[in-house]
Amino acid sequence: GAVVSQHPSRVICKSGTSVKIECRSLDFQATTMFWYRQFPKKSLMLMATSNEGSKATYEQGVEKDKFLINHASLTLSTLTVTSAHPEDSSFYICSASGGQGHYYEQYFGPGTRLTVT
Amino acid sequence: GQQLNQSPQSMFIQEGEDVSMNCTSSSIFNTWLWYKQEPGEGPVLLIALYKAGELTSNGRLTAQFGITRKDSFLNISASIPSDVGIYFCAGLLSNFGNEKLTFGTGTRLTIIP
């Protein structure tokens, strides 16, 4: 149990376009989902926390209008990178809590590599 | 944001050797988690620790929650090639409605043939 999927796994887009990344908890209902960004050879940096049916809470320095998060159900959250630019290229990882174990243990998706040309 | 200090930053060892890495913080946590990440993948939870002083094993992995609640270590015994990856510690000060993880800087493990 506690499997999280992400789609797509890789995406290449042109500068100025928008990209949507989906995060799904496959075998549990996720009370909370988290979105992280990871630069090469660096640790994970939390971008935002979202609870189903409510607005996401963004970390300091993360532009909420650029990184739109929707958490429409207990098994699905989406991150939309709007008007993407090359500096948005990164590895985006979601996680979900509410699975087996303690309620706050986070289970991670496989990540989405975004390349903006 | 805040990050935990992990050491060493990288390790180059031979197969069969034991591995030890640790994580320290200037603030306390009441849960410590250890994750492993392979290239191009998301982190996978290895061990979770919930009480100060707790020592927990998962196969060849052993982790301890420091008594001061500001540190944790992870040991891997008799390393094998599939242990290669980046190991992250993560601390949590769980307040209901605010379960954010603070991640360590990572320890990259390489096994020399």
DSSP chain B: ---BEEE-SEEEEETT--EEEEEE-SS--SEEEEEEE-TTS--EEEEEE-STT-EEEETTEEEEE-TTSSEEEEEE-S--GGG-EEEEEEEE--BTTB--EEEB--EEEEEE-
- Among A41, A97, A108, beta carbon nearest to B42: A108
Interval A19-76: pLDDT, tens: 999 999 998 888 889 999 999 888 999 999 998 888 899 999 999 999 999 988 989 9
pLDDT at residue A102 in the model: 66
From A18's Cα to the closest Cα of chain B, the distance in A is: 22
Rg of chain A (C-alpha set): 13
What is the pairing mode between strands B107-112 and A106-108? unpaired
Cα A34 from Cα A31, distance rounded (Å): 10
pLDDT at residue A1 in the model: 65
pLDDT at B99 over 80: no
pLDDT at residue A89 in the model: 96
Put simply, the answer to whether B101 touches A106 (Cβ < 8 Å) is yes
From B2's Cα to the closest Cα of chain A, the distance in A is: 9
